[in-house]
């Protein structure tokens, strides 16, 4: 889910934005001032920041430069001031877009889509490291020492469930259901078989796995 951080000191605007964005499938966090915005961004690492310039504690461009110091997350600025000088300052500070209030909510949503689309296309491919191997779930690719490793469909499905729950113990029953279907409950031999194959292909020392762990009697766990 795409995460958006909304920074606005006016509660009703913040609430309106939260409602509209949530209704369109975004995960919304809000912050009422610049200091909390910077802290929140460092915590959740959003995919987009919607920033109102009229903040009580610091100037809007300071927030922008504060963010730009360590992240290239898209920043969409909202402002009541339509003066060109303001826009130029915000854009040159590192903002990606500038919308003046009052704004049409449909247009804002379209600009949000445009900004997040860029972010995704710009190529953040979530890769996971396992032993000497690199797993890229988005493009279904595993590399080890620069060479490609091929996984079968079943191996991918099993690996995906584990990787999507990093650090969490996934029960045998749940793994069987997710990979083979709801009619499979006790076929733990399938799991042993395919876990062994995954370890052989991914772990540095398949006999002593470090990331794909067995929890005897319960299930398996992926430790990052």
Partner DNA sequence: GACCCGGGTGACAGACTTGTCAACGGCGGG
Partner DNA sequence: CCCGCCGTTGACAAGTCTGTCACCCGGGTC
Among 3, 35, 214, 221, binds DNA (CB under 7 A): 214
Of residues 94, 105, 87, 80, the one with CA closest to residue 49: 94
Among 34, 155, 170, 211, binds DNA (CB under 7 A): 155
Of residues 56, 26, 25, the one with CA closest to residue 44: 26
Residue 162 interacting with its own copies (CB under 8 A):
no
Of residues 156, 138, 161, the one with CA closest to residue 202: 156
> H or E stretch including 188?
helix 188-202
Neighbouring residues of 18: CB distance < 8 A, sequence distance ≥ 6: 6, 28, 30
Binding at 155: pick from its own copies, DNA, none (beta carbon under 5-8 Å per type): DNA
Q: Around Cβ 51, how many Cβ atoms within 10 Å?
A: 25
Residues 173-202 touching DNA, rule: CB under 7 A, are 180, 187-190, 192-193, 195-196, 199-200
Tokens of 189: 């031999």
Binding at 188: pick from its own copies, DNA, none (beta carbon under 5-8 Å per type): DNA
Q: Enumerate binding residues for its own copies (CB under 8 A).
A: 72, 84-85, 87-88, 91-92, 94-98, 104, 106-107, 109-111, 113-114, 117-118, 121-123, 138-141, 150, 152-153, 156, 165, 167-169, 215-218, 221
- Would you tell me which residues interact with DNA (CB under 7 A)? 150, 152-155, 172, 180, 187-190, 192-193, 195-196, 199-200, 206-207, 214, 216-218
């Amino acid at each position: 889910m795409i995460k958006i951080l909304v920074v606005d000191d006016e509660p009703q605007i913040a609430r309106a934005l939260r409602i509209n964005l949530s209704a369109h499938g975004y995960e919304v966090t809000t912050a009422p001032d610049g200091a909390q915005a910077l802290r929140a961004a460092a915590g959740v690492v959003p995919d987009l920041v919607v920033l109102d310039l009229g903040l009580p504690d610091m100037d809007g461009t300071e927030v922008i430069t504060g963010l730009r110091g360590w992240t290239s997350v898209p920043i969409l600025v909202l402002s009541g001031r339509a003066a060109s000088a303001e826009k130029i300052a915000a854009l040159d500070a590192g903002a990606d877009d500038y919308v003046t209030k009052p704004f049409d909510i449909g247009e804002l949503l379209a600009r949000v889509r445009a900004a997040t689309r860029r972010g995704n296309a710009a190529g953040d491919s979530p890769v996971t490291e396992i032993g000497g191997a690199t797993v890229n779930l988005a493009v279904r690719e595993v590399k080890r020492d620069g060479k490609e490793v091929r996984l079968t469909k079943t191996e991918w499905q099993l690996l995906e469930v584990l990787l999507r729950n990093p650090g969490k113990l996934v029960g045998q029953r749940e793994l069987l259901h997710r990979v083979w279907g709801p009619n499979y409950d006790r076929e733990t031999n399938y799991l042993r078989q395919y876990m062994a194959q995954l370890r052989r292909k991914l772990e540095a020392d398949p006999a002593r796995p470090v990331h794909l762990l067995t929890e005897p009697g319960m299930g398996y766990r992926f430790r990052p």
